[in-house]
């Protein structure tokens, strides 16, 4: 199963060496040409994955991660932008990342691996994000995020493994509005600062998220109004499993904290 997200078909994907059956579905794979991300974890796949993310955003298709381990050493940037008004590409310019479903319970899942002691991630006082979803209006001189416009951006079924010694690492930052989500994701945080920063509200939600280790599991002080989290599992954080400060109540359903 590739997930429930749909996208327009892009004619001519096969001519660039990608799987024709994925092209028919409006999907590109990070392991296909021209990206060729390494699913064994031996090679650094940061640039390959970023190129796939950029292409998926540009052509409005889903980016698919086959089962495997993908080594990354820098922030993967899922930046969304629009110039208004409330019309395409506002509604269609989006990042949708979907991982391959394991063939059996407990089977191999796709995961992003941040190796131990990765430069840039080791300073606890200077947080650095592994996977960053955000929005910027190009008409603004500011480079700050605009979370109320960060919509329809989705991560589904791709785990993150953070190696030891990455004290400043933040697994995912995703503060979004309607249609934005983190779904079916586990973050193995080890020594990291935070598993997930940011919550989705106003029609967005984080569902079936699990954080093991780290100083904080969910840091939801950056959140859209009335955010929703369903099915959170927070295990062995050294400071706090969850912190929240935002407009309106946080709806937290089915949480397990150890």
Is residue 101 packed enough to be buried (19+ CB in 10 Å), middle (13-18) or exposed (0-12)?
middle
- The pLDDT, as a whole number, for residue 41 is 96
| Residue range 171-190, pLDDT digits in tens | 999 988 888 999 999 999 99
Contact 17, 33 (CB under 8 A): yes
Q: How far is CA 189 from CA 19, 72, 105, 158, in A?
A: 33, 15, 22, 14
Name the nearest CA neighbour of 188 among 237, 155, 230, 240: 237
Contact 63, 90 (CB under 8 A): no
Asked whether the whole model's pTM tops 0.85, one would answer yes
Dmax (CA) for the chain in angstroms is: 51
Q: Residue 170 and residue 23: Cα distance in Å, rounded?
A: 33
- The pLDDT, as a whole number, for residue 16 is 42
DSSP string across the chain? ---S------TTGGGGT--HHHHHTTEEETTSTTT---TEEEEE-HHHHHHHHHHHHHHT-EEEE-SEEEE--S-EEEEEE--SSSSTTTTT---EEEEPPPSSTT---EEEEE-TT-TTS--TTS-EEEEEEEEE-TTSS--S--GGG--S-EEES-EEEE-TT-TTEEEEEE---TT-EEEEEEEEEET-SEEEEEE--SS-EEEEEEEEESSEEEEEEEE-SS-EEES-EEE--SSEEEEE--SS--EEES-EE-
One digit per residue, the tens of pLDDT, for the chain of length 258 reads 333 433 333 333 333 444 556 667 789 999 999 999 999 999 999 999 999 999 999 888 999 999 999 999 999 999 888 655 554 444 457 899 999 988 777 788 999 999 999 999 999 989 999 999 988 766 665 566 676 777 889 999 999 999 999 999 999 999 888 889 999 999 999 999 999 999 988 888 999 999 999 999 999 998 888 899 999 999 999 999 999 988 889 999 999 999
Sign of CA dihedral 122, 125, 126, 131: positive
Q: Residue 177 and residue 88: Cα distance in Å, rounded?
A: 17
| Residue range 75-99, pLDDT digits in tens | 999 988 865 555 444 445 789 999 9
Sign of CA dihedral 115, 121, 127, 133: negative
C-beta neighbour count of 222 within 10 angstroms = 17
């Amino acid at each position: 199963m590739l997930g429930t997200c749909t996208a327009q078909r892009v004619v001519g994907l096969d001519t660039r060496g990608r799987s024709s059956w994925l092209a028919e579905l409006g999907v590109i794979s990070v392991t296909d040409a021209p990206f060729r991300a390494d699913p064994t974890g031996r090679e650094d796949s940061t640039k390959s994955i970023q190129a796939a993310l950029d292409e998926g955003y540009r052509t409005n298709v889903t980016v698919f991660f086959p089962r495997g381990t993908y080594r990354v050493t820098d922030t993967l940037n899922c930046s969304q932008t629009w110039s208004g008004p409330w019309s395409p590409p506002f509604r269609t310019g989006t990042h949708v990342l979907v991982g391959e479903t394991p063939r059996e319970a407990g089977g191999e899942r796709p995961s992003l691996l941040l190796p131990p002691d990765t430069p840039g991630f080791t300073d606890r006082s200077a947080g650095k994000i592994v996977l960053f979803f955000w929005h910027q209006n190009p008409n603004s001189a500011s480079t700050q995020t605009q979370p109320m416009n960060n919509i329809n951006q989705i991560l589904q079924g791709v785990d993150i493994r953070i190696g030891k010694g990455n004290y400043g690492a933040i697994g995912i930052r995703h503060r979004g509005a309607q249609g934005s989500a983190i779904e079916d994701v586990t973050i193995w945080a080890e020594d990291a600062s935070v598993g997930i920063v940011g919550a989705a509200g106003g029609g967005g939600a984080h569902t079936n998220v699990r954080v093991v280790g780290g100083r904080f599991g969910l840091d939801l002080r950056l959140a859209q109004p009335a955010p929703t989290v369903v099915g959170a599992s927070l295990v062995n954080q050294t400071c706090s499993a969850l912190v929240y400060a935002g407009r309106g109540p946080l709806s937290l359903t089915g949480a397990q904290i150890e």
